[in-house]
Amino acid sequence: MKLLRVGEPGAERPAIVDSDGKYRDLSSVVADIDGAALSSEILANIAGTDISALPEIASDSRIGACVNGVGKFICIGLNYVDHCEETGAAVPEEPVVFMKATSAITGPNDGVIKPKGSEKLDWEVEMGIVIGRDARYVSEEDAMDYVAGFCVVHDVSERNFQLERGGQWDKGKGCDTFGPIGPFLVTRDEVKNPLDLNIWLNVNGKEFQNSSTKNMVFGPAKLVSYLSQFMSLQAGDIISTGTPPGVGLGQKPPVYLNEGDEVHLGIEGLGEQRQKVLPCPY
């Protein structure tokens, strides 16, 4: 199933994509697409619903973040071998973990704000794992049982804030609008092999990233199991699994986003995002 949230910010309704690609209102079935809706029982109830009988939603409606009320937005750095090479970093022996502020989350086609003082605004297309139920100390063999589905994440980054201002990476990762997610939460049953999906990103029509999730250092099962050793994972949490090569920082010379630039990104089977870089309104 492809689940989504449609409507203006703060007034999104849960929805599902039908067999003809139309959006159908799920409000009569679930209150929202959030942690409470991601249990296997609720997802089975949605799957058993006569989708064709649900009200249709206009296809040009705004799409919000595909999950509401995200508790933790966990990110993995340097998780593609060739991305490590382009940044001059060693391939990690264990996953590199950092957190992205949940206040950064936006809809997949909302604008990306260039923060005040930003000098090196960068792009990173990533596959997101959406947790479906509480996970603590789970084995790698059982890890996928705790996954509700997958989504596209744009891990927008400000490299000056991240790498040149001291401290940890988080302050270059958590600015407002730095976490577009969606358009869809694609349930696990519909993603036959999350380690064999094309992943790509263009800026102003020019291709910069084009790879496959098969090039990950640590796959979804390893990441879920690994993280559950250090923190409980809860329904609705998102794990952003790292980006392939082609980021602005890795260009020679580096290339960064400016106001007015347009970014188009996507992952095979999970959908696409489009954002325009906007001036800071604050």
Q: Please, what are the domains in the chain?
A: 2-57 (no CATH), 73-278 (3.90.850.10)
Amino acid occupying residue 10: G
* CA dist., res. 203 & res. 281, Å (int): 23
The residues, ordered by sequence, that sit 6+ positions from 41 with a Cβ below 8 Å of its Cβ are: none
Q: Give the pair of three-digit tokens for residue 26.
A: 């799920």
Q: What is the pLDDT of residues 156-175, one digit of tens each?
A: 999 999 988 888 888 999 99
Report strand pairing: 105-106 vs 157-158: unpaired
Grouping H, G, I as helix, E, B as strand and the rest as coil, residue 184 is coil
The residues, ordered by sequence, that sit 6+ positions from 20 with a Cβ below 8 Å of its Cβ are: none
Q: What is the pLDDT of residues 105-156, one digit of tens each?
A: 999 999 999 999 999 999 999 999 999 999 999 999 999 999 999 999 999 9
pLDDT at 170: 85
Say how many C-beta atoms besides its own lie within 10 A of residue 104's C-beta.
18
Q: What is the pLDDT of residues 65-82, one digit of tens each?
A: 999 999 999 999 989 987
Q: Give the pair of three-digit tokens for residue 177.
A: 């609008």
Q: Give the pair of three-digit tokens for residue 128.
A: 């997101």
pLDDT exceeds cutoff 80 at 87: no
Amino acid occupying residue 103: S
Give the CA radius of gyration of the chain. Answer: 18
Confidence of residue 13 (pLDDT cuts 50, 70, 90): very high
- pLDDT above 90 covers a percentage of the chain that reads 92
239 dihedral zone (left: phi>0; alpha: psi -120 to 50; beta): beta
pLDDT at 273: 98
Say how many C-beta atoms besides its own lie within 10 A of residue 68's C-beta.
18
Q: What is the pLDDT of residues 221-274, one digit of tens each?
A: 999 999 999 999 999 999 999 999 999 999 999 999 999 999 999 999 999 999
